[in-house]
A and B are shown apart, each in its own frame.
Chain A
Amino acid sequence: MLIYERNSLVDEIVDLTVEYGKERSALLPILQTLQLRHKCISDFAQQEVARQLSIHPVEVYSVISFYTFLHPESQGRNIVRLCQTISCDLAGKCYLVKAIERELGIKFGQTTKDKRIKLEFTNCLGMCDQGPAMVINERVFTKVTPERAVAILNEVK
């Protein structure tokens, strides 16, 4: 990481502590914001957060590893999460999986070569009445058919 990138990250984290405070309870909001903006929370960022909140870096890492939506490493520009839980499964999730994997040429759990899309499974999204459901970054798509899924993914930059 370049020095100026580091410096701007430090500034950003300091700003976040101004917004959320320096208590431990500010940890998750800070991490969530960093994840949203940078698509990952790098080891440098983790240590800086730890320093600002006076906790140990390993505690930050431990918290990140607990929550599915937080990542210590960059996953790709867009994270596609397909619901794998029962109602969506009944609604035909497996056809979606096959179509998406075929179209992108990667398996779930992998990232496309150009880092455009990371495919992940997730658990129930609370859209069970409109399954199969899928989230791309923060947007939810419901009643996704294989054809529509592929069309949506092609639109993602």
Chain B
Amino acid sequence: METMQIEKTSRKGIVLFSEYVAGSAIRKAVKIGREEVLFELRDSKLKGRGGAGFPTSTKWMITAAASAPKKYIVCNADEGEPGTFKDRVLMMEHPEIVFDGMVIAGYTIGAKTGILYLRGEYYYMLEFLENHLSGMREKNLLGKNIIAKEGFDFDIQIRLGSGAYVCGEETALIESLEGHRGEPRNRPPYPVNTGFMGCPTVVNNVETLASVPHIIMKSGKWFSEYGTDKSTGSKLFSVSGDCENPGVYELPWGMTITEVLDIVGAKNTKAVQVGGASGICLSHAQFNRKLSYEDASTGGSIIVFNESRDILHILQNFMEFFVEESCGQCTPCRIGNVKLLEGVKKLRNGNYTFAEIRNLRELGQTMQVASKCGLGQSSPNAFLSILDNFSAEVFQYTSSDKHNGVNNE
């Protein structure tokens, strides 16, 4: 059986896909020392690539400053957001920068253990990644006294997920690592104070960690010159949907959606979903918005829909996703998503009242503020943005229409 086609294209890119010699950043980090690493990171203004966009240097500094017998660095490779696959590409094509990033993190914050939390769907990568780790151990880039530096001990283990999107949420991920249901914790306390096994823990996205070796090699200032003022550096965008060349693109932050659509060869585009299922859906009028933390923020997912697509069908798909993937812990998200889904179905068969829809809209706003974690806080985004941006289409049906709606998969 032939399985998937692993692209062997050698990508070129400004930061992540630029030249890098495995292990070089680890040597340099040790040479310049912990503080200098943190300063470089601060100068780079690198923000988390997992979605939340928290400044990475702050996270590392808090953990580095904590006095605890044990600390952990966790690489979040649970990539579950619909339309996101850049971490897969990074790990398959450039495992060296991801793992080097983890080693540098371990060195900087004083952790002895790194954990890569790999989503269960990526099981097929396990052997490849394990082999890479063995190679690093042989080269003394992992293990005891790394690169002959006395006392620099660090090793990486890979732990698998088992098919739960919410485990990408950092506290749920930690719960899962500890052998529990992947249910997000109350915050505060944050993982940087009380993380895995109660120890200070840095959780970073694959791409965040992969940026670090380049920053170390070429300086934080160099990195911060790309992108915009508040969104520095480059970003991997996972583009899928109705376009000629879906795939992973490394682009600087701050490009408009129109520009990206051009690059990927999208025609007759009606809508673009920025940020995956938990992101927002933009219509033509908003295609001049900039991809950046301060404007249209995304963890990398860009899904393109052309004119032929039924926007309510798409919305229903998203809402079904959340109903299933909510951890089911807190009320707004567990039941709220079910109600939003019911609302979408009603819209599709024209069997709604505007009062109902107004209630659901308000419910969506409540979910955004009252849910326990980011999943419930962002799951109404698609619903609300589609109602706002595509109102003509959304409200086109009346119950007498025999629209092929609800049963249409």
Chain A contact residues, CB within 8 Å of chain B: 23-29, 31-32, 35, 53, 62-63, 66-70, 84-87, 89-90, 93-94, 97, 122-131, 133, 135, 138-143, 152, 155
Contact = CB atoms under 8 A, between A and B. Distances in A.
Nearest to A94: B409
A143 B5 contact: yes
B162 A129 contact: no
Contact of A23 (B5, B179, B409): B179
A126 B119 contact: yes
Contact of A126 (B85, B183, B317): B85
A135 B409 contact: no
Contacts of B181: 62-63, 66
B102 interface: no
Contacts of A139: 1, 3, 124
A128 B160 contact: no
A129 B79 contact: no
Contacts of A142: 3-5
B179 A86 contact: no
Nearest to A29: B159
A110 to B, nearest CB: 16
B55 interface: no
Given A86-B273, A123-B80, 4 more contacts: A85-B317, A129-B239, A129-B240, A135-B121
A125 B121 contact: yes
Given A123-B321, A143-B5, A87 B83 contact: yes
A31 to B, nearest CB: 8
B206 to A, nearest CB: 11
Q: State which size class the interface on B falls in.
A: 35 or more
Contacts of B108: none
Nearest to A124: B82
A69 B82 contact: no
29 contacts: A25-B178, A35-B162, A53-B179, A62-B181, A63-B179, A66-B164, A66-B183, A66-B327, A67-B182, A68-B162, A68-B163, A85-B83, A85-B277, A86-B277, A86-B303, A86-B321, A87-B82, A87-B241, A89-B409, A90-B242, A122-B121, A124-B80, A124-B84, A127-B88, A128-B83, A129-B240, A140-B3, A140-B124, A143-B5
B1 A130 contact: no
Interface in B275-327: 277, 303, 305, 309, 314, 317-318, 320-321, 324-325, 327
B180 interface: yes
Nearest to B79: A126
Interface string B119-143: 1111110000000000000000000
A5 B187 CA distance: 45
Contact of B309 (A90, A97, A131, A140): A90
Contacts of B239: 129
Contacts of B121: 122, 125-126, 135, 140
A128 B1 contact: no
Given A25-B178, A68-B164, A123-B82, A130 B122 contact: no
B197 interface: yes
Given A24-B180, A67-B163, A129 B85 contact: yes
Interface string B206-228: 00000000000000000000000
B107 to A, nearest CB: 24
B299 to A, nearest CB: 13
Contact of A28 (B82, B83, B179): B179
